[in-house]
Structure 1
Amino acid sequence: MYIEQFGLDPVSKPERTATWVDLFIIWSDISLCLPSFIIGAMLIPALSWSEAVSVNFWGNLVVGVLIVLGGYYGTKTGCPAVMYGRLVFGYPLGQWFPTAFLLVSTLGWYAVMTAMTGEALDMIIKETTGFSSPLFMIILVGVLNASTAVMGYQRIRLLAWLSAPLLSLLCIWMTIKVLSLTALPSAFQYQPTGAVSYAQGMDLVIGGFISGAFVASDFSRYARSNRDSWFGTFPGAFLISFLLGLLGMLSVVATGDWNPVTVVDSFGMGIPALLFILLANWTTNHTVLYSSGLALTNALPRLGRWKNTALCGVTGIALAVAGLTGLIQSWLMLLSCIFPPLIGVVLTDFLLVRKTAVPSQAVNIPAILAVSAGTGLAAITPPQYMASGVGLFSSSSMYILIHFTLRLLNFYTKKTV
């Protein structure tokens, strides 16, 4: 049984063999997930059709660009995302700040998707066989997802290649089913409820996938070049997520239901529905757990990557059983407040401020202050403004201001002495 040996150590250049096609397949499989469908569906009927399409497009475009930029560290150094946190926030103390953010995000998503998928499979199997055990199905889904995450990148890539064509065909079939249900031109003429503003819709889309910008290096470190990362990661992260969000929107217009499980079940797709739900979850959830395992390895290096990944899997299953799916909209809004400031400081530090791959201090106080301030400002942002945008740009600006102010003070202090 092959278990990946790379943990926090860099992938050597001879072993960075992933082409743009590999990265496109991996990120397409990540994007072909139930949350992409659900987030698109949440925009209807809160927004008008044109507003919802606009939010779905621009939100996913922003995330796609941020994910590619976030992967630069991986292609440059061959190291995973948590080492990126060491660089920016300091080592050994400062790294705990981004590691905690990452674990909260990844384990939360893993729990939500595991619970949703387990409950969906239980519903379908109950209708087919009469057998029902939601607890068993949730645990089964969690174990299956954890199996490839524990094995590592090569198994993740293999499953991605095997599942991508099938998932694409199932999505096309679902689209045809949805389009056949109603006269779409008249269905689009609904009255928007206004329950979600345009800015809040953007936050829902960005909050759903913004953590991908931080963990992108976990996969880009296997890429042959930045060019391969751009041409593979961007369309996989942006285009596929946009299209599946569009399918979620169409499903609400046609059926009035936002839940992909009941929508798929209503089509009478049987086994294909079972495969779609299982694979759409698996190909996303194992990458989430893989990044979670790397984050925990940063905190508990002695256990090693695969043991930490397994430990995260057990924790995620326990959270799924506890029940987090009812909090998904609040969860997305929380992520849209805490992750953009983190991404803003990380990208600003790596691309503009220092442009180095060597941590220079135990704790980078300006970075922590900038992220904390950006998160606070995002949390109090009025609904008509984008909390994610406020958080990202305020933390970036504040970090640049603090950093260069300290450099000037240091310069004048040395000059005086």
Structure 2
Amino acid sequence: MVAAKTQIDDKSDLGGDYTLAPVPLNRRKHWLDVALVWMGMNICPPSLLLGVWLMRYQSFANANLSLIFALILLALFSIFQGIIGTKLGLPTYPISQLALGDWGGRLFSFVMFLTLIGWFGIMTESLVSTFYSQIFSAAHISLAERYRPFISFGAGMVITAICFWGFRAITWLNRLTIPGLLFLTLFALVKILQQPALVHRVLHWHAAQESISVYQGTIWVVGSLIIAAVTAPDFNRYCRTSKDTVYSVLLGNIPMVYFLAIMGMAFAVLSGAAEGKSAIEAADLSAVFAKQGWNIGPLSGVLVASFILIGAIITTNVVNLYPGAMALVTVVKGSGKYWPYLEDRAVLTIFVGFLGSVAAAFGILAKFEFFLEILTYFSVPLIGIMSTDFFLLKNRSKMKGKINISSIIIWLGFSLANMGHVVPGGALATVVYSGILYFILEKIFGDKLHWEVLK
């Protein structure tokens, strides 16, 4: 194992993290710490939104089946990707260079950088919107809209400061926020269970709109969450063994997303979102608490829910910024000869966090949300390519030229096909097709397609 040969504290960045060098074995974490990072990534409004959208187009029973099948598949993808990160001790982006080649890996890393930093900006705007819609009004604070850009910038830079310290800071943040959101959702669950009529409506729900099959629902859920599976090495490189990776993924993914999505289904019926009303309101815990008038003892339920929701958004957002900065490190790899900190993940975190915060302050990122969704399609085929390269072709250290033509053609081809929705089976099938085709091309052509370009 690469990491076993590397006792290299001097190769960590200013935040004590590792990007271009494998994580040393003595710096690895307990699998529970890694599971907490997965939980923090999944505890967010989009997980609730999954349940809302499923209930719009499926019965409660079929929505459950779609969710369960999708989570099992996503767990398998995450485990495969995560084990690669554990074995090599590296994040997704340097590993991608083994299969895509040096320049190909940089191109993929640049796409991921744009995608992840873009979502960072959008989530920052969402956080500030929660302040304006719930906290300020509940606290009787009147703050003009002209101050929103400054608050957005400040919020973005606070998240950036957390990300500067890397994996350690993320795990501590999750230890603080996850219990709160779990308590909040459990409290809401108890309130729902106290309404037998509502429980009956949820359990016997049938879609008000044209229904979709369990297969279609499964494909949709997989496509919505698969980018987390692609970037699994970013976090599972801190696991000590492959078994730890399996434990962290199973605990951090399946129960958390399933529970939140089920709550989203209940909120969808409760708020009317399942019948076509605002889906965003059903996925906003603070809005649900406000509409239902739920309080927690003497405390305002709206305020408590809002603060915990903000914590949940922050935990998700640091997981956007953290790998986004690591992706940029891979893009600019080699520039450290001019100034060492140009390759430092912690320093680049400040840079990309600043850019994302400025963009959030001007409110321009929401206009590009569709563009960011398109970029997400470019992440899917890499699971099939990377898993095939590592597990079937047994490639542990060989970078296949400057550009590996076979993997680049498959990656770009299936990404564009996926974007055009012409691949039967969607994101799920794309992973399988890309892996099979990559294996065939590598076996037939091998080094002939590994171009050195400048050689």
**Global fold match (TM > 0.5):** yes
- Which residue in the other structure is 2:172 paired with? 158
In structure 2, the gaps of 5 or more residues are 1-13, 274-278, 294-300, 337-341, 450-455
> Can you list the C-alpha shifts for 1:200-254, whole angstroms capped at 9, x where unaligned?
5334422332122222212212212111111122220222112111111110012
Structure 1 residue identity aligned to 2:389 = D
> Can you list the C-alpha shifts for 1:145-181, whole angstroms capped at 9, x where unaligned?
2221111111111112222222211121122234445
- Which residue in the other structure is 2:128 paired with? 118
Distance (whole Å) between structure 1 residues aligned to residue 71 and residue 367 of structure 2: 24
Q: TM-score, normalising length from structure 2?
A: 0.81
Mark the CA change 1:61 to 1:330 in structure 2 (over 3 Å): closer, same or farther. farther
> Can you list the C-alpha shifts for 1:126-160, whole angstroms capped at 9, x where unaligned?
32223234434433332222221111111111112
5 Å-filtered alignment, 1:18-417, equals 18-91=29-102, 93-128=103-138, 129-132=140-143, 133=145, 134-180=148-194, 182-187=197-202, 188-194=204-210, 198-257=214-273, 258-259=279-280, 260-261=283-284, 262-268=287-293, 269-301=301-333, 302=336, 303=342, 304-320=344-360, 321-325=362-366, 332=373, 334=374, 337-381=377-421, 385-407=424-446
* TM superposition shift of 1:196: 5.8
CA contact (8 A) 2:42 2:257 kept: yes
Aligned length: 405
> Can you list the C-alpha shifts for 1:324-364, whole angstroms capped at 9, x where unaligned?
557768855x3664322122111111111233223131111
User: RMSD across aligned C-alpha pairs, in angstroms?
Assistant: 2.6
* TM superposition shift of 1:66: 1.1
Distance (whole Å) between structure 2 residues aligned to residue 328 and residue 265 of structure 1: 28
Mark the CA change 1:371 to 1:5 in structure 2 (over 3 Å): closer, same or farther. closer
- Which residue in the other structure is 2:297 paired with? none
2:19 corresponds to which of 1, 4, 7: 7
CA contact (8 A) 2:222 2:428 kept: no
CA contact (8 A) 2:51 2:263 kept: yes
Q: Give secondary structure in 1 for the equivalent of 2:185.
A: helix
Distance (whole Å) between structure 1 residues aligned to residue 132 and residue 290 of structure 2: 12
Distance (whole Å) between structure 2 residues aligned to residue 192 and residue 335 of structure 1: 32
> Can you list the C-alpha shifts for 1:30-75, whole angstroms capped at 9, x where unaligned?
1111111112212222222222222222222222221121112221
Mark the CA change 1:95 to 1:338 in structure 2 (over 3 Å): closer, same or farther. closer
Deviates more, 1:231-240 or 1:322-331: 322-331
Q: Give secondary structure in 2 for the equivalent of 1:43.
A: helix
Mark the CA change 1:94 to 1:193 in structure 2 (over 3 Å): closer, same or farther. same
Q: TM-score, normalising length from structure 1?
A: 0.88
CA contact (8 A) 1:177 1:267 kept: no
Structure 2 residue identity aligned to 1:215 = T
Structure 1 residue identity aligned to 2:177 = S
Mark the CA change 1:283 to 1:51 in structure 2 (over 3 Å): closer, same or farther. same
> Can you list the C-alpha shifts for 1:100-125, whole angstroms capped at 9, x where unaligned?
23113312322232222221121112
* TM superposition shift of 1:20: 1.9
Q: Give secondary structure in 2 for the equivalent of 1:94.
A: helix
Mark the CA change 1:409 to 1:11 in structure 2 (over 3 Å): closer, same or farther. closer
Matched residues, percent identical? 22
Distance (whole Å) between structure 2 residues aligned to residue 244 and residue 387 of structure 1: 24
> Can you list the C-alpha shifts for 1:179-210, whole angstroms capped at 9, x where unaligned?
44552213433443127665553344223321
Distance (whole Å) between structure 2 residues aligned to residue 390 and residue 65 of structure 1: 14
Structure 1 residue identity aligned to 2:266 = L
In structure 1, the gaps of 5 or more residues are 411-417
Structure 2 residue identity aligned to 1:163 = T
Distance (whole Å) between structure 1 residues aligned to residue 385 and residue 270 of structure 2: 42
Distance (whole Å) between structure 2 residues aligned to residue 194 and residue 335 of structure 1: 29
